[in-house]
Structure 1
Amino acid sequence: MRLIQCDHQGQVRAALVESEEQVRLLDCDTYTLANRSISAGQPLSDTVAAALTDTRLNYQALVDAKRLLPPLTHADPAHCLVTGTGLTHLGSADTRSAMHAKAQAAEEDMTDSMRMFKLGVDSGKPVAGEIGAQPEWFYKGDGQCVVAPEAEIPSPAFAEDAGEEPELAGLYVIGGDGLPWRVGYALGNEFSDHVTERFNYLWLAHSKLRACSFGPELLIGELPAHLEGTSSIRRSGETVWEKPFLTGEANMAHSLANLEYHHFKYPGFRRPGDVHVHFFGTATLSFADGIKVREGDRFEIKIKEFGRALRNPLRVEADAPAINVKSL
């Protein structure tokens, strides 16, 4: 079962994807659906079935009119936290082999990144009841940094790079009892400044404070262990870069449960009513292949199990005046 959100007559409404051409409107938004399920103690799929209306909409018309919204939102962007984890994916067979070979190097010869990766390989998938290794973790922003599918994804004028990161994102609502509830999963473009990040890993935090996008569809239920997708960049109607990518737990050094535990173990991330968008990482980047994106390039990320591709054109923001802090 997959859902989208759209602007319907000025209201945020969820809709069930019935086919590539048609969606069926629900009587509320996804956030309300999730809270109904939490309160009723029932599966989200049952809540969706009870919320269906008789109104059906043309999916492509929603895309063309740019009425698609992220599949989970909060009315107050400050109550949507966007975060993620890195060094979580094993990558392709060749990449995996190379990384494993490096992981056998002497401890004193290993980089901090390789040590972090090796921790995940060694203990990122603990057995039930045990706690695994902590992953790399980063903060992207609140709901203001989220860009709707099909909308322009902005890169600040001061950025050194504006590169896509094709990932899965977990979408969550914190219940009134302070427990996190996973609503589902979505395709994500985590979008980072890789030049800044590569200069020094201590600048990772700076490189991540950027816009991002996820959707357009929310996958409800269990996530397949093995997923194969395609990430591409289109320029003036032509494909300038395209590459397959792998995700899902079978292609990761960490289990999803371990990544979720190490995020939600902090009480500040279990504030009742909040929405969380958590990116799970990737091993495939156009930047690694020497691609330099331009304004107007369109990122496209697709996994067949998630329905329609996540698409966003790039917009480079104009220079802004320097920020001068004033004393009171």
Structure 2
Amino acid sequence: MHLIQFTDDKGSRAVGVTRDGATQRVNGVETVYELVQVALRGGDGLVAAVAAQGLGETLDKQAIARDGRLLAPIDHPDPSHLHVTGTGLTHLGSAATRDSMHKKNDKPAEELTDSMKMFRMGLENGKPAAGQKGVQPEWFYKGNGHIVANPGKAIPSPSFALDAGEEPEIAGIYVIDQNGQPRRLGFALGNEFSDHVTERINYLYLAHSKLRACSFGPELRVGDLPRHIEGKSRIIRDGQVLWEKPFLSGEDNMSHTIANLEYHHFKYDLFCHPGDVHVHMFGTATLSFADGISTRPGDTFEIEEGQFGLALRNPVQVETEKPVVISGLY
């Protein structure tokens, strides 16, 4: 079962569900967050909540996408209560790109970079046995709901950015229930948009490089993550494919289990406040930046994988410079 959020032809918000190849409107709710509250009250999950609400008109998802009416597949009434975070160096091919970005030429060849050390730790203890705790991954904060660009809409890159690069990933989608328990809703395609040039200057700039907008969706795939995911990431410029490469995800292609990555995020009480929404990016091994690509305003990112429904598309837009003015209030 897949869920989407969109605006209908009257400008009202709505939720759609896709099952067995057909997409219909879900009655009685305007947002997936509302639907989640129905599921929490009923105690039987999202599938049962959709059945309880009933279904309405048949929808054409492709037409909704063409019309620019898609929304992110979940949001929060107060965007400050949606947290976007992520983990890196979690995929079997992810170390090579990062290592080449951070390797110091004045070090002996046999000395491992911090990236390679972190990657090796994941290989050795990122997939613990059930009930055991594995090694914690690299972790970063990206922002809150204010930094989410809807599918089809422009991803803004700040005027001071040195790079505007895509990161095709899988995002886990969670809501914290009334008891402070994280509840996984499912997974979505994600573009964990980052500034790789800033990161390359010094590894300690990683936190700065991640404070950028992102996009995820358009569809929320309800349920467990497939073990093998093989999609395509591409950049389109002036109507032509500038760059294209497959990306892999799922635990068969990762050095950590999803459970281990989830544990090391939600072990913090900060991330277990009832009602909050979490969008957690699980990392990638595929970057156009690694192939020497530098994007321009108007380039379009396209990330697709058949198990997740519609492709995630976003153009790049560079923001105008905003002066930073600090005034006292004494």
Pair in the same fold by TM > 0.5: yes
- The reply to whether residue 49 of structure 1 matches residue 54 of structure 2 is no
Tell me the residue number matched to 1:25: 25
Letter in 2 for 1:116: M
Gaps of 5+ in 1: none
How far 1:326 sits from its partner (Å)? 3.2
Alpha-carbon distance in structure 2 between the residues aligned to 1:188 and 1:64:
19
Match of 1:7 in 2: 7
Looking at structure 1, the residues matched to 291 and 183 of structure 2 have their Cα atoms a distance apart, in angstroms, of 37
Per-residue Cα deviation, 1:122-149 (whole angstroms, up to 9, x for no partner): 0011111110000000011110000100
Partner of residue 151, structure 1: 153
State the Cα deviation string for residues 270-296 of structure 1 (Å, max 9, x = none). 000000000000000000000010100
Residue 64 of structure 1 corresponds to: 66
Deviates more, 1:318-327 or 1:59-68: 318-327
CA distance in 1, matches of 2:173, 2:180: 16
* Per-residue deviation, residues 282-321 of structure 1 (Å, max 9, x unmatched): 0000000000101000000011100111000110111222
1:277 to 272, 276, 279: 279
Change beyond 3 A, Cα 1:124–1:317: same
Question: How many residues are paired up?
Answer: 320
Compared CA separation, residues 319 and 219, structure 1 to 2 (3 A):
same
State the Cα deviation string for residues 42-78 of structure 1 (Å, max 9, x = none): 1321212222322122222211221100001111101
1:160 corresponds, among 162, 165, 173, to 162
- For 1:193, the equivalent position in structure 2 comes to 195
Distance 1:14 1:136 in 2: 34
Aligned to 1:40: 42
Deviation at 1:322, TM superposition (A): 3.2
| In 1, Cα distance between equivalents of 2:239 and 2:18 | 27
Give the 5 Å matches for 1:206-245.
206-245=208-247
Q: Secondary structure of the equivalent of 1:109?
A: coil
Question: Hey, what's the Cα distance between the residues in 1 that align with 2:189 and 2:124?
Answer: 27
Secondary structure of 1:127's counterpart equals coil
Work out the CA distance in 2 between the residues paired with 1:107 and 1:263.
34
Query: What displacement does 1:95 show?
Result: 5.9
In structure 2, runs of 5+ residues without a counterpart are none
CA offsets per residue over residues 81-115 of structure 1, 9 Å max, x none?
110001101128x969x99xx9xxx9981111111
Matched, 1:308 2:310: yes
Aligned letter for 2:69? R
Distance 1:220 1:137 in 2: 24
Other-structure match for 2:249 = 247
TM-score (norm 1): 0.92
Separation in 1, partners of 2:41, 2:324: 48
TM-score (norm 2): 0.92
Match for 2:241: what amino acid? T
